[in-house]
Chains A and B, each alone.
Chain A
Amino acid sequence: DIQMTQSPSTLSASVGDRVTITCRASQTISSWLAWYQQKPGKAPKFLIYKASSLESGVPSRFSGSGSGTEFTLTISSLQPDDFATYYCQQYNSYPLTFGQGTRLETK
């Protein structure tokens, strides 16, 4: 099984900051990676597919990059609505696997 490891587990930041979350795969997954945002009590929201393609309707301050085993999610200028938990997920092969999550909190 492919293991996904996110860092950091928690990130403290302020509105307007640029933040980056890293996701590493235990083996190469090409660009078969998605990112999600989840708020407490809600279902995850699909942000990015194929490592860097933005889902329709997602603000352009979100961006993804990487391929192979190392990936990043960047928020260029944090907005109040962005404080949430973020997950990466590989879909290179079954079983599909998620990272453990990165909680983005207010500094």
Chain B
Amino acid sequence: EVQLLESGGGLVQPGGSLRLSCAASGFSFSSYTMSWVRQAPGKGLEWVSGISVGGGSSTYYADSVKGRFTISRDNSKNTLYLQMNSLRADDTAVYYCAKRYCSGSNCGGFDIWGQGTMVTVSS
């Protein structure tokens, strides 16, 4: 079964750090672009960051997290990471990892999502 399982969320003080993990199973993890998407309580979806296939030589960030968050992947462990530094109250959200859809030459959108992990930034 194709599955993504996030972990690492929790309560952190403003200015603090947290590292999220996303364990993938059931598909060839290294062959897919992966992303993090978040959703603040009662709000819509916001794409946060993405990383390219293979070694992840290309990374992409939303302006709201650029310079504070770092995405990475360990293909030997089938795991995606999000290192979050200098956290702010407006980073409070459920964080989802998501697999990019790709079938032949049709690639785009996210076909597999994890269950999400909650990050709360508060003193």
Residues of A within 8 A of B (CB): 1, 32, 34, 36, 38, 43-46, 49-50, 53, 55, 87, 89, 91, 94-101
CB distance from B95 to the nearest CB of A (A): 11
Instruction: Pick the residue among B45, B101, B106 that contacts A44 (CB under 8 A).
Output: B45
**Closest 10 pairs between A and B when the two form their complex, measured CB to CB:** A34-B109, A43-B113, A91-B108, A96-B47, A94-B60, A49-B109, A98-B45, A46-B111, A101-B44, A95-B62
Is there contact, CB below 8 Å, between A43 and B114?
yes
Interface residues on B, range: 20 to 34
Residues of B within 8 A of A (CB): 35, 44-47, 50, 60-63, 96, 101, 106, 108-116
- CB-CB < 8 A to A1: which residues of B? 63
Is there contact, CB below 8 Å, between A89 and B63?
no
Instruction: Report how far A97 CA is from B45 CA in the complex, Å.
Output: 9
Is there contact, CB below 8 Å, between A96 and B50?
yes
Instruction: Report how far A3 CA is from B50 CA in the complex, Å.
Output: 18
Q: List 15 A-B contacts (CB under 8 A).
A: A1-B63, A32-B108, A44-B45, A44-B96, A44-B110, A46-B110, A49-B108, A50-B106, A53-B106, A91-B108, A94-B50, A96-B35, A96-B50, A96-B60, A98-B46
